């Protein structure tokens, strides 16, 4: 595993850990807050319960006091000042036996504020006005006064009710009760409660049980919960009652503890109710259940996301791998094609294309170094006889051994190539008259040696033409062509000999100036004509369209082949006008057929690279399409591979614009240019056209077979359509079909036809 992959994996792992941690923390937090919420609910419930109990008790003792204040016996006793008839201890006992009121006492006070009767003491007649402000207040303005207060004994409930006889205030009935029963009721409800009287009352509690003090705090309930009491002692009452918050968790008693503070009339603390609820009694199952559910959902989501993530990861990897494989295949195919395009498989020698490049190269360096070189054009004498009498195989073996002999005769800096059939060329660098003649003679000598093939002995001779740089030409085509001319001269002179080129041998070539002048006239005078060569899909036998080819019948020059005048037109801007003329003409003509209901298929137009350079091209195309009403999807432009590769970046831009119009693009003469894989992939091409030169020698020539296979395989891998041109024989057609190319154009089906003949062809075939 490389470090980038490792880094990526580590990063992914860290992200996963992060997500899991965050998920865990969030769910835990949620659980914790649910538990807290549950605890504060319990704390609130305890306080509520306590308050209700206090209210209830206040109500009860008020009712008793109200009832007793109406008691005639008590009124009579007060009026007669004879308390002997009052026996309220028994009433206390009755209440203790029959109700929750376990500790309840009574006091009767006369209208002067003196204690008249006490159920808890025999003492009476003492004035309470000084010691008790509430009594003084009552004497002045009789009214019902309920209160909770701390007396000399403990914290207690008190209620005073005025006693009236015939609307005259005659005394006060007072009921007193303790808090113990409230604590008991709370305890019964599992809400263990300890009531602490605040330390500020310590000095006032003169009759209180000293044993019950914890520090300065007095425990107001008589049988407090031992464990809770111990806890209060251990932590100190202050520590507990000063706790902040609704509740606290006390692990030592396994409880939640909540405090309720009761204030006096001055809003100062009077009593503290410490309530504890055992944690074991709290049911948190539902919270944990929902936590577990959340964990489960989280894990599920995480799992599914991981699966989706992994799925897309592996899909991405698969696509990358496939792409890589495709890249490799295409690269090897283009390499193969480049090699094949430059070499002759039979002999392994350079072919015409490579030889041209090498000569070009030699020209550059000869110019730089001011040196000379020569080109030999060699043609085997009577090779055709060998082929005819001994067969192709013997011919091939012969060519191979001739090639080997030629290679042995030259130096390493020289190049031997096979141009075609039995034509060879040799480039000799740094040659002068003397070494040139000696090499040529050496070659004639070497080749003459008899060759044994399948028990036959062959004696072979060459006719050789020689041209020299720079005297016989300064460009590659001219030098080769002049050497060729010299070779013919040698043949004429009786074979097995050589000739140096001289200018008198030069063939008549049409003057370019005359050509250009006539081409301009041709455009003006409408001397051109559009021909159509049908293209057939052999799987269906239908015509899929036609390639439009220009024809020129010049009154002055006669019929001139486009192969001759197009290259000249390309050197001036005439080609643009010519191509536009063809576009308009063909679209107009075919639209007429279409309107008559004839299926015209596709129209292929040849476009010169000059067109691509100009900016008006796209606008012109749009215009013509609009003008003629021709459907852009029926139009295809053919551009040669060589021209596309002159400036591939610029070509990509123009072709993309053409494609935007809905027009398709085909590479013409595919296999002869120097396409690089990188560009073929980037160019918006729909179709590859196998060049006629590769079809010519099918199905015999090994080179051509290999090239055609490569081209078909490139087209397949790049999902492009493929067509072969120049198909003349059924053998060629069958071979192409077997290899997977079923679209055919060539004389086998039809020569390029004048427009009316093409119409007839369409009607007959579709
Ligand atoms: P090309 O584009 O490679 O066109 C195919 C050539 O092969 C045509 O030659 C066609 O007649 C010929 N051909 C087709 N099938 C066969 C066959 O089975 N056997 C043989 N021997 N030949 C076949 P043509 O019409 O002479 O055109 C020559 C070249 O001139 C074309 O080569 C093309 O590059 C150029 N050309 C023709 N018309 C136009 C045009 O309108 N505009 C431009 N820019 N170039 C044109
Ligand atoms: Ca073409
Ligand atoms: Ca072609």
DSSP states along 240-265: HHT--SS-EEEGGGTEEEEEEEEE-T
Quote the ligand 3 centre to 693 CA distance (angstroms): 8
Ligand 1 atom index nearest CA of 748:
18
Residue nearest to atom 25 of ligand 1 (CA): 549
Give domain 40-54+181-281's CATH number out of 2.40.480, 3.30.450, 1.10.357, 1.10.10.
Answer: 3.30.450
Cβ neighbours around 748 below 10 Å, total:
16
Helices 616-628/574-595 angle, 10° precision: 20
Residue pair 743/724 in contact by the 8 Å Cβ criterion: yes
pLDDT of residue 507: 46
Residue 418 tokens read as: 């096979």
CA distance 185 to 187: 5
In angstroms, the Cα distances linking 85 to 77, 152, 160, 310 are 7, 28, 21, 98
Quote the ligand 1 centre to 535 CA distance (angstroms): 13
Q: Quick check: 682 pLDDT over 90?
A: no
Q: Quick check: 147 pLDDT over 70?
A: yes
Average pLDDT over residues 272-281: 95
Q: Residue 25 burial by CB count (10 A; 0-12/13-18/19+): exposed, middle or buried? A: exposed
Q: Which of 692, 750, 754 to mutate to test the pocket of ligand 1 (most atoms within 8 A of CB)?
A: 692
pLDDT of residue 753: 97
What superfamily would CATH give domain 512-765? EAL domain (3.20.20.450)
pLDDT of residue 703: 82
CA distance 179 to 101: 10
Quote the ligand 2 centre to 423 CA distance (angstroms): 27
pLDDT of residue 511: 56
The enclosing H or E element of 452 equals strand 451-453
- Lowest mean pLDDT segment, chosen from 193-202, 274-283, 507-516, 617-626: 507-516
Which of the ligands is closest to the CA of residue 673? 3
- Lowest mean pLDDT segment, chosen from 4-13, 149-158, 463-472, 495-504: 495-504
pLDDT tens-digit series, residues 451-481: 888 788 888 888 999 999 988 888 898 899 8
Reported as a pLDDT band with limits 50, 70 and 90, residue 388 is confident
Question: Taking CB atoms and a 6 Å cutoff, what residues make up the pocket around ligand 1?
Answer: 533, 549-550, 561-563, 566, 579, 582, 606, 608, 668-669, 692, 725-728, 745-747, 752
Parse the chain into domains and list their residue ranges.
40-54+181-281, 57-175, 352-500, 512-765
- In this structure, is the dihedral angle defined by the CA atoms of residues 5, 8, 14 and 16, taken in order, positive or negative? negative
pLDDT of residue 194: 96
Average pLDDT over residues 357-380: 93
Residue nearest to atom 45 of ligand 1 (CA): 606
Residues with Cβ within 8 Å of 620's Cβ and at least 6 positions away in sequence, in order, are 580, 583
pLDDT tens-digit series, residues 312-349: 988 888 888 888 888 888 888 888 888 888 899 899 99
φ/ψ of residue 94, rounded to 5:
-60, -45
Which of the ligands is closest to the CA of residue 696? 1
Report the chain's C-alpha Rg in angstroms: 60
Residue pair 704/690 in contact by the 8 Å Cβ criterion: no
Average pLDDT over residues 143-149: 92
| Domains 40-54+181-281 and 352-500 are alike in CATH topology | no
Q: Quick check: 282 pLDDT over 70?
A: yes
pLDDT of residue 675: 66
pLDDT tens-digit series, residues 520-545: 999 999 999 999 999 999 999 999 99
Residue nearest to atom 46 of ligand 1 (CA): 606
State percent of the chain over pLDDT 90.
62
CATH topology of domain 352-500: Alpha-Beta Plaits (3.30.70)
CA distance 591 to 476: 45
pLDDT of residue 739: 95
pLDDT of residue 509: 43
pLDDT of residue 701: 86
The enclosing H or E element of 391 equals helix 383-409
Average pLDDT over residues 36-43: 94
Average pLDDT over residues 32-40: 94
CATH topology of domain 57-175: Beta-Lactamase (3.30.450)
Query: Between 477 and 432, where is the model more confident?
Result: 477
pLDDT of residue 58: 92
CA distance 634 to 173: 118
pLDDT tens-digit series, residues 599-644: 999 999 999 877 777 778 888 999 999 999 999 999 999 999 888 8
Q: Which of 564, 565, 566, 743 to mutate to test the pocket of ligand 1 (most atoms within 8 A of CB)?
A: 566
Q: Which of 606, 614, 689, 754 to mutate to test the pocket of ligand 1 (most atoms within 8 A of CB)?
A: 606
Quote the ligand 2 centre to 500 CA distance (angstroms): 38
Ligand 1 atom index nearest CA of 728:
18
Q: Quick check: 2 pLDDT over 80?
A: no
Average pLDDT over residues 363-367: 93
Gap between the terminal Cα atoms of the chain:
60
DSSP 504: G
pLDDT of residue 508: 38
Residue nearest to atom 17 of ligand 1 (CA): 726
Ligand 1 atom index nearest CA of 607:
44
Quote the ligand 3 centre to 711 CA distance (angstroms): 14
Quote the ligand 2 centre to 606 CA distance (angstroms): 5
Ligand 1 atom index nearest CA of 669:
3
Residue nearest to atom 7 of ligand 1 (CA): 726
Residue nearest to atom 22 of ligand 1 (CA): 726
Helices 648-660/616-628 angle, 10° precision: 20
Which of the ligands is closest to the CA of residue 637? 2
Average pLDDT over residues 196-213: 93
Quote the ligand 1 centre to 683 CA distance (angstroms): 23
Quote the ligand 2 centre to 369 CA distance (angstroms): 41
Quote the ligand 1 centre to 93 CA distance (angstroms): 134
Q: Quick check: 510 pLDDT over 60?
A: no
pLDDT of residue 748: 96
Quote the ligand 3 centre to 25 CA distance (angstroms): 72
Q: Which of 549, 586, 604 to mutate to test the pocket of ligand 1 (most atoms within 8 A of CB)?
A: 549
Which of the ligands is closest to the CA of residue 569? 1
Ligand 1 atom index nearest CA of 747:
18
Quote the ligand 3 centre to 189 CA distance (angstroms): 105
Query: Between 385 and 114, where is the model more confident?
Result: 114
Quote the ligand 1 centre to 549 CA distance (angstroms): 6
Max mean pLDDT range (510-519, 553-562, 627-636, 705-714): 627-636
Quote the ligand 2 centre to 666 CA distance (angstroms): 9
Ligand 1 atom index nearest CA of 549:
38
């Amino acid at each position: 595993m490389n470090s980038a992959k490792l880094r990526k994996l580590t990063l992914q792992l860290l992200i996963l850990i992060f997500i899991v941690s965050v998920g865990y923390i969030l769910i835990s937090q949620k659980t914790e807050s649910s538990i807290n919420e549950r605890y504060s609910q319990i704390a609130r419930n305890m306080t509520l319960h306590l308050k209700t109990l206090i209210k209830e008790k206040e109500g009860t003792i008020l009712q008793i006091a109200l009832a007793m204040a109406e008691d005639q016996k008590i009124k009579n006793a007060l009026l007669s000042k004879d308390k002997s008839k009052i026996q309220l201890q028994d009433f206390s006992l009755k209440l203790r036996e029959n109700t929750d009121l376990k500790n309840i006492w009574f006091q009767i006070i006369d209208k002067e504020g003196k204690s008249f009767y006490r159920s808890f003491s025999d003492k009476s007649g003492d004035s309470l006005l000084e010691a008790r402000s509430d009594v003084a207040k009552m004497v002045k303005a009789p009214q019902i006064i309920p209160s909770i207060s701390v007396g000399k004994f403990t914290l207690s409930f008190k209620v005073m009710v005025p006693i009236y006889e015939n609307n005259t205030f005659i005394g006060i009935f007072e009921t007193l009760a303790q808090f113990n029963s409230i604590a008991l009721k709370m305890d019964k409800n599992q809400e263990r409660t300890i009531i602490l009287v605040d330390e500020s009352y310590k000095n006032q509690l003169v009759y209180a049980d000293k044993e019950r003090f914890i520090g300065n705090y007095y425990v107001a309930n008589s049988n407090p919960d031992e464990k809770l009491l111990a806890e209060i002692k251990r932590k100190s009452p202050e520590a507990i009652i000063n706790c902040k918050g609704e509740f606290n968790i006390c692990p030592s008693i396994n409880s939640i503890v909540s405090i309720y503070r009761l204030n006096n009339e001055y809003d100062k603390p009077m009593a503290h109710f410490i309530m504890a609820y055992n944690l074991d009694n709290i049911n948190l199952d539902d919270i944990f259940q929902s936590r577990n559910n959340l964990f489960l959902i989280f894990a599920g989501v995480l799992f599914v996301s991981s699966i989706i993530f992994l799925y897309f990861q592996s899909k991405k990897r698969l696509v990358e791998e496939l792409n890589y494989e495709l890249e490799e295949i295409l690269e090897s195919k283009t390499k193969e094609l480049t090699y094949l395009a430059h070499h002759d498989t039979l002999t392994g020698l350079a072919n015409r294309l490579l030889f041209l490049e090498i000569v070009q190269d030699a020209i550059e360096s000869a110019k730089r170094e001011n040196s000379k070189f020569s080109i030999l054009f060699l043609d085997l004498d009577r090779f055709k006889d060998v082929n005819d009498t001994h067969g192709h195989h013997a011919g091939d073996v012969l060519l191979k051994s001739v090639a080997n002999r030629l290679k042995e005769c030259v130096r390493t800096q020289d190049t031997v190539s096979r141009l075609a059939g039995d034509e060879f060329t040799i480039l000799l660098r740094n040659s002068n008259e003397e070494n040139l003649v000696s090499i040529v003679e050496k070659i004639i000598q070497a080749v003459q040696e008899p060759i044994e093939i399948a028990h036959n002995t062959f004696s072979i001779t060459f006719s050789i033409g020689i041209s020299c740089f720079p005297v016989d030409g300064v460009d590659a085509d001219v030098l080769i062509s002049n050497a060729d001319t010299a070779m013919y001269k040698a043949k004429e002179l009786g074979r097995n000999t050589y000739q140096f080129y001289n200018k008198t041998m030069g063939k008549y070539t049409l003057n370019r100036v005359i050509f250009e002048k006539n081409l301009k006239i041709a455009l003006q005078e409408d001397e051109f004509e559009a021909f159509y060569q049908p293209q057939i899909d052999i799987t269906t036998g239908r015509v899929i369209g036609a390639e439009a080819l220009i024809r020129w019948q010049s009154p002055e020059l006669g019929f001139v082949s486009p192969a001759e005048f197009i290259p000249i037109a390309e050197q001036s801007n005439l080609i643009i006008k010519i191509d536009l003329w063809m576009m308009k003409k063909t679209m107009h003509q075919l639209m007429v057929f279409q309107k008559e209901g004839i299926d015209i298929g596709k129209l292929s137009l040849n476009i010169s690279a000059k067109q691509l350079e100009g900016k008006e091209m796209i606008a012109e195309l749009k215009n013509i399409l609009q003008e003629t009403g021709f459907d852009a999807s029926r139009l295809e432009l053919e551009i040669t591979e060589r021209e596309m590769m002159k400036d591939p970046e610029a070509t990509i831009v123009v072709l993309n614009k053409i494609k935007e119009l809905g027009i398709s693009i085909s590479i013409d003469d595919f296999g002869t240019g120097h396409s690089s894989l990188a560009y073929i992939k980037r160019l918006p091409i729909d179709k590859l056209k196998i060049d006629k030169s590769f079809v010519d020698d099918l199905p015999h020539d090994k080179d051509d077979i290999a090239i055609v296979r490569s081209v078909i395989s490139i087209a397949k891998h790049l999902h492009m359509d493929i067509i072969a041109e120049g198909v003349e024989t059924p053998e060629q057609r069958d071979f192409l079909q077997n290899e997977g190319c079923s679209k055919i154009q060539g004389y086998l089906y039809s020569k390029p036809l004048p427009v009316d003949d093409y119409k007839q062809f369409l009607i007959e075939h579709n």
